A = this chain, B = another copy of it.
Amino acid sequence: MIAAELVATGTELLIGRTVNTHAQRLGRALSPLGIALERETTLRDDRPAIAAAVRAALTRSQVVFVTGGLGPTCDDLTREALADALGRKIVRDTAALSRIRARCVRLGQSMTDSRARQADILEGAAALSNSVGAAPGQRIELGGGRVLLVLPGPPREFEAILAEHVLPWLRGHLHAPVAPERILMVCGLGESDVIERFAAAGFDPAPLDLAYCAGPGQLEVRLTGKPGEESVVTSAAARALAVLGDHVYAESREDLVAAVGRRLEARGATVATAESCTGGLVAQVLTSVPGSSAWYRGSIVAYANDAKTSLLGVPADLIAAHGAVSEPVARAMAEGARRALGTDFALATTGVAGPDGATPEKPVGLVWWALADAKGTVARTRRFPGDRDLIRRWTAQYALDLLRRRLDGTA
């Protein structure tokens, strides 16, 4: 493995304003390339401290990432700190400057000195164009095969330059032996459930490395072998797939909503949603997929009870008899949305997201969701753990998974 480290800059990372997600993103992206992220150092916007940390990192690691401090303001000091650390001059990149100028025209902003400063890079650096922001990234190749990779702090810009420029370059220029890996994306089971199922089936993935990455309502199960163990990993993955069955919704790293969209598109089917406790989240997740207008038609977010009646046709006496968080109301909401929006499928959610609104019979986290299609309506319930945000995210994922299973013929 090739050693890498990250120097993350930004006072906002150390005063409680922002969670630094770059180490996680880099760790995940570098491992398959045979590069090990060994250390992260987070610093305030302090020029001498940044320069010293970069110098120290270059003595330890072949690949050094520096993030943040490339913006237009006076607390953006990374360029100057790198000039100090490497003893190089700062130069203005003409291509980056043209892009920033064009961006200002497009956005109706004036081209100021502070904006122009974002085109500054180190002498000898390759500017890595930023497709979603102003400041370019930089790649600085140093003696002894060492490389310094400088990326903007905002996650979107960091991600764009990482994916478009840095990872392709690392793949082409560093030749570390790659560990074979297989991924199973799972919905409806947690880590402990997967471990229990593997144990019950007598499946022991050792000596392969088994790792998990859990998000609300989806779990990545990753099997990694040593370089050359391709066939061992392939047969272990087939065994794991057999054990986990229809809980697996994809065999590569893919969000559940993308897997659902792929299936709807292939079938030429349409979907609508009716939401209460999720308050638009299911719609927002579905429409986050580019091209979703091919299969998504709309949502009725009926947060107030009389909106459930007037917009979705849920009988008021049904709500009075069972309460808004109930199986009959979830079913009626799904059927109402399918009718109102004229789709093949409709999903509905209703639940107690908290922190208020709970009763002894209906505690915080209790949710019903339903799916209506031409064959009828199915409903599911669960009590989800966590706070308001987490309960809503769990609900959206389980609702999407019900649609995924219906499309796969397993629900």
Stretch at the interface among A70-78, A90-98, A237-245, A372-380: A70-78
Q: Please name the residue on chain B nearest to A60 by beta carbon.
A: B49
Tell me which of B31, B280, B387 contacts A283 (CB under 8 A). B280
Contacts of A43 in B (CB 8 A): 38-39
The answer to the question of A320 belonging to the interface, with a C-beta cut-off of 8 Å to chain B, is no
Interface of A is mostly: mixed
- CB-based contact A301/B304 at 8 Å: no
A105-162 interface (Cβ within 8 A of B): 106-110, 112, 114-115, 132-133, 154, 156
Bound-complex Cα distance A294 to B125 (A): 55
Residue in A31, A212, A273 whose Cβ sees the most chain B Cβ within 10 Å? A212
Contact A212 B390, CB 8 Å, known A16-B28, A279-B287, A356-B291: no
- CB-based contact A279/B283 at 8 Å: yes
Contacts of A247 in B (CB 8 A): none
Q: Please name the residue on chain B nearest to A11 by beta carbon.
A: B211
- CB-based contact B386/A156 at 8 Å: yes
Bound-complex Cα distance A16 to B357 (A): 37
Tell me which of B15, B103, B193, B278 contacts A37 (CB under 8 A). B15
- CB-based contact A385/B103 at 8 Å: yes
Contact A31 B16, CB 8 Å, known A11-B211, A279-B284: yes
A44-75 interface (Cβ within 8 A of B): 44-45, 49, 71-75
- CB-based contact B283/A301 at 8 Å: yes
Bound-complex Cα distance A71 to B383 (A): 21
Per-residue B-contact encoding for A225-245, CB less than 8 Å = 1, 0 else: 000000000000000000000
The answer to the question of A191 belonging to the interface, with a C-beta cut-off of 8 Å to chain B, is yes
Stretch at the interface among A18-26, A80-88, A399-407: A18-26
Contact A298 B290, CB 8 Å, known A41-B41, A284-B284: no
- CB-based contact B20/A23 at 8 Å: yes
Residue in A19, A299, A311, A354 whose Cβ sees the most chain B Cβ within 10 Å? A299
Contact A192 B114, CB 8 Å, known A16-B24, A213-B12: yes
Binding site for B on A (CB under 8 A): 11-21, 23-29, 31, 36-45, 49, 71-75, 103, 106-110, 112, 114-115, 132-133, 154, 156, 190-193, 195-196, 210-214, 220, 273, 275, 278-284, 286-288, 290-293, 296-304, 307, 310-311, 340-341, 354-357, 383, 385-390, 392
Q: 3 closest pairs, A vs B, by CB?
A: A16-B28, A279-B287, A280-B283
